[in-house]
Every structure is written in C-alpha cells, then in structure tokens.
Amino acid sequence: MDPSNLEKQRQPEEPRFLSFQHSKPGSGLNKYSSTLTREHDFPAAQAMLYAAGVPDEHTLKTFPQVGIASVWWEGNPCNTHLLDLGKEVKRAVLKEDMLAWQYNTVGVSDGITMGGDGMRFSLQTREIIADSIETVTCAQFHDACITIPGCDKNMPGCVMGMARHNRPSIMIYGGSIQPGYSTLLKKPINITTALEAHGAYLFDNLRNPDEPSQTKDEILSDIEKTACPGQGACGGMFTANTMATAIETLGLSLPGSASTPATSPEKMRECQKAAKAIRVCMEKNILPRDCLTKKSFENALVMMMALGGSTNGVLHLLAMAGTADVDLTLDDFQKVSDRIPFIADLAPSGKHLMADLYEIGGIPSVQKMLIAANLLDGSTITVTGLTLAENVASWPSLKQGQEIIRSLDSPIKATGHIEILYGNLAPAGAVAKITGKEGMTFTGKARVFEKEHELDQALNKGEIPRTENLVLVVRYEGPKGGPGMPEQLKASAAIMGAKLTNIALITDGRYSGASHGFIVGHITPEAAVGGPIAIVRDGDVITIDASTHRIDMVDVDEAEVTRRLAEWKAPRRPVTRGVLAKYARLVGDASHGAMTDLF
C-alpha cells in the first residue's frame, strides 16, 4: 500500500476515546504539541516545558514532541533493561531534531507470580498500561509515541494504548532471554524446565540419569539458579514472543524486532533506527490504525499458527482488534488454523528457543517464506513506510539445513495448533492448544476444583491418580471470577513434569504460553456468571474433540443442564475493594478479549 493513499483509505468515524483527535492547530510534525507551544496561549505550560529541559524558544516552537513509554522496572528480567533501551531511543530521537520525553508504566512478572495470588493482578496490567499510554500521550499533547515493552501483557497493553490515541507510534520489543544451561544436567534449559521440574520433584521423578547420586533438591536448586541467565523475556514461543511476533507482523515494529535477543548489539541498533522510523511515520502520517486492519490481523494469526503461539495470543489479539474497531472473532482463529500448517519446533512443545530462530534469519525470514507461499499477505503497510513484503524482500532466506522451521510440505501438524471449541460446556467458546502430540480427542471423568490453588494442593500431596482418565476442571478463575483470569502454568507444568498422561485440564481461566499438554482454557461463559462449567460435578464424563471442535458433558443432557443451572447460586465475590474489584466489575468475557472498555 502506498502511504500517500492512506488518507483516502480512512473512513470518517465517531471518536471512541477522548484523545483530542481534532485539536490540530499546527501544520508541521508538531501538530499536537503546538497546542501548548504556539504563541502564548499556554504560558504556564511553556514555563513547565522550559523547566523540564527545553533549551530555547526555537526548539519549543518547532520541534515535535515524542513520548517514550517503557514498561521498565527492576524486579523482572523481562523488564529490567528497558530503561536503558529507552535512553538509547531518547538519544536517537534528539538527534532527529525532536524532543523526547521518557516515562514508564507498571508491569507484573508472570513468572514470579505464577501459581500465587499475585497472578490475579497480571492481566489487568494490560489495561493499566493502555490507560497510562493513552493518558500521557493525550494529556501532554505528544505528537508521537514509541513504546518499549518486555513481558507478556506489556505488548498488547502498549498496542491498545497506541490504537486509542492513534498518533504515529512504534513498538520496540525488549527482546527474549538467552538459553539457560544446567551445570548439573549439562544441557540447555529455560523457565519451563524449572516449572516442569517441580512436578517431577513432587512425584519423586526428578533425577539425573548420568549422576544417580544427585538428590532431587540439588537438581532443582541448580535449575532454579541457571534457567534464566540474564535480561530478556522467556525464550520460547511463549506469550511474550507470540505477541512480539504478531505485532511485528501487524506492522507496528521494525523488521526483526520480535526475534532480536534482548542483550544483542542489534537490539540497541533497533533503538537507534526507531527514531528515523517515527519521523517517517509522522511525515507520511502513518497511524496505528492504518496498520491494524483485518488483513494485517489475519497475517498475525497466520504467524501464530505457523509458529505454535500461545493461547494468550487469542485473548490479546481479540482485545487489540476490538480497541482498533477491527471485527475479529474466535471463528477467525479457527479459519486460519484450519489452513495453516504448524511448522516450528519451538518450545514449549518443541526444543528450540527464539534465540535459535534469530540465528537462522529470525521472524522476517519466516515471513518471507510464507509470503512466497501465498500464505501471508505482503501488501499491508508498516511503520517503515513500506509494505510487509518490501520490508523482508532483502532479508536472508531461512538457512539451509536448519531444523527449527520445517518445510511447508513436511509440517509438524498439517493444520494449526489452536482449536476453538464449542459445546454444552462452552456455549460461547473455549480455546485449546493441541499440537497433535497429545492426540486429537480425550474423554475422562471430571474432577472439580473451585480454584487453582485446590488443584495445586492436590498435586503437591500426590492425590491425582494415574489409574484412570481424568478431566481436571478448574473454575471460578475467569476474568470476573478470579478475578483477573490467572494463568495456571504451575499446575499444567507439574502434570507434564510428573508425566501424568491420563490427565486433561480445562478451565474458565488461562494457561501460560509455556503450557503444553491436553489443555483447554477461556471457557465462556465463565463460572462466576453462571456458565455451564459452574455446574459440572465430580464423575461427569467430559469429551474434548479437537477434530469436531467440541467440548461436552456427554452424560448430562440438556434438561439436566437446565435443572442444575436453575439451582446454581452465585458465590460471594472473592474481592470487594481495590483494583481487582474494579477490574471484575468492568471486564468483559474471554471470547471478546477480556476488554474493560466495551461500550
């Protein structure tokens, strides 16, 4: 698409957000900031800007102002380096004769909070991040925005904020972590190793075959110390890398952003390039919603299916699309999954990490292959001012002989791994992540847990038998019921580590991008609002069939479902004050992305 045609493509719309889209007194690149800086309309504002570091009147009156929003904080390796990336961006922006203002928003570490009450705060940070970026951009009359996220919810939060204010914007992904290495096991490991080792530890199955004398405590301690060697987000095709890949494909990041490791020199060079790219966006008036189209979202889904992305990608892409007023539904995910082969041997279901993919060409090389195969539409516009196809045309093709990305005629699975399920357990939909290694169907007796911690306690005590097929049902963990729809990687990883192959997990909550096995999440309606998952009883037979896209209580007929629902009473809300209570009142259902601004 020629950027000069963007104005013709845009349709007039009723503004959804108080972002002062029509307050454009300036004619240059400073058309928003000049509201404050032209003439003497706002002398107090100008006085404050001089105090903040603007050197002279010429700079104040003519330079555009760029906000640099990092999701920086020190307590998480995904985010600890983002302040330094932001400083590099600021230096580069200043060299482009623009003012640069750094600020940051909150983050929560999914890895640190996993399995505890802190995880309930994670998803709602997506909304806080979007609120922060919209707030600062609009309140301070910034002309453009560069965001720098690192962890799972950071990236969709940044894009949702950018879509709300819809001013020239670029996202720089903080990058993924390098592989860890266990000194005792003498092999590469990552964060999933630590979580799955916990399951093996609990079931007394954690051993080093090469050193039988090592105790399980020694092995687990070594894994804990070596799984995360430094800065960067979790290294597999988990949620952070899924979202970074999707957003690069949407056109809101520079080519290669998703696969460039956090600590590589190339990541710093990307920060420098972003300054020139944001000027291009301002000069050509390329706005976030120009990139966020139905066609570009379908491209993002293609990459998600080809690479085996996280189920959280469903939740976040729905929310990003909803914020940008793009009509994306659960059924769109199924349509793309039905036609796109799963070709990536990446963790959690495979053995390689994003750092390995970077070495053979990275995300642009995969995009180049899929564009050549007519599976990816290369005509979509990006923040470079070029189309997706033009961005990757000069990028190297995937290296010959590599084993990370399969050829399209020899996939791991002929179709995608994301399956959208419906049935008497999920009338409004559910999301399964099935790579084919688990089989396509599962039938077992229900064992019900009212909260995730109940299942964790049962696993800790060794109370989950290996003797019969069980469908473990975890409920009241949805967006409202959790509240916060916590990820349940601790339980799924423990089951994988314990090698409980007779188990399937289903929930109205979420699973981490690092989860694998026979798992179904996002069951809608959730238990807290009286969805059918609320009336499942121990011993009910549940069948999950990915080939027919069904999840049903097969021995509970419609009349019994109706009778049980009539008897159901909503439980007392677990939180009645504070940010989680506010979130529970505002949040929508998972099938629409768990958004808080549906109106």
Catalytic residue IDs: 512
Q: How far is CA 300 from CA 354, 388, 593, in A?
A: 17, 12, 16
Three-state DSSP class for residue 581: helix
Judged by phi (left if over 0) then psi (alpha if -120 to 50, else beta), residue 385 lies in left
Question: How far apart, in whole angstroms, are the C-alpha atoms of residue 590 and residue 482?
Answer: 12
Question: How far apart, in whole angstroms, are the C-alpha atoms of residue 333 and residue 480?
Answer: 24
Q: How far is CA 333 from CA 109, 252, 274, 314, in A?
A: 27, 21, 31, 8
Question: Is the Cα torsion angle 531, 111, 153, 512 positive or negative in sign?
Answer: negative
Q: How far is CA 267 from CA 85, 251, 394, in A?
A: 8, 18, 19
Name which of 556, 311, 312 is nearest 425 in CA terms. Answer: 556
Helix/strand/coil (H/E/C) assignment for every residue in 371-416:
HHCCCCCCCCECCCCCEHHHHHCCCCCCCCCCCCECCCCCCCECCC
How many Å is the maximal CA-CA distance in the chain? 79
Kindly provide the b/e burial profile for residues 513-529, where b requires at least 16 CB atoms within 10 angstroms of the residue's own CB: bbbbbbbbbbbbbbbbe
| 153 neighbors 122 (Cβ within 8 angstroms) | yes
Rounded (10°) angle between helices 330-339 and 294-307: 50
| 140 neighbors 165 (Cβ within 8 angstroms) | no
Alpha-helical segments (H) within 203-293? 216-226, 239-250, 265-284, 288-291
Question: How far apart, in whole angstroms, are the C-alpha atoms of residue 165 and residue 148?
Answer: 17
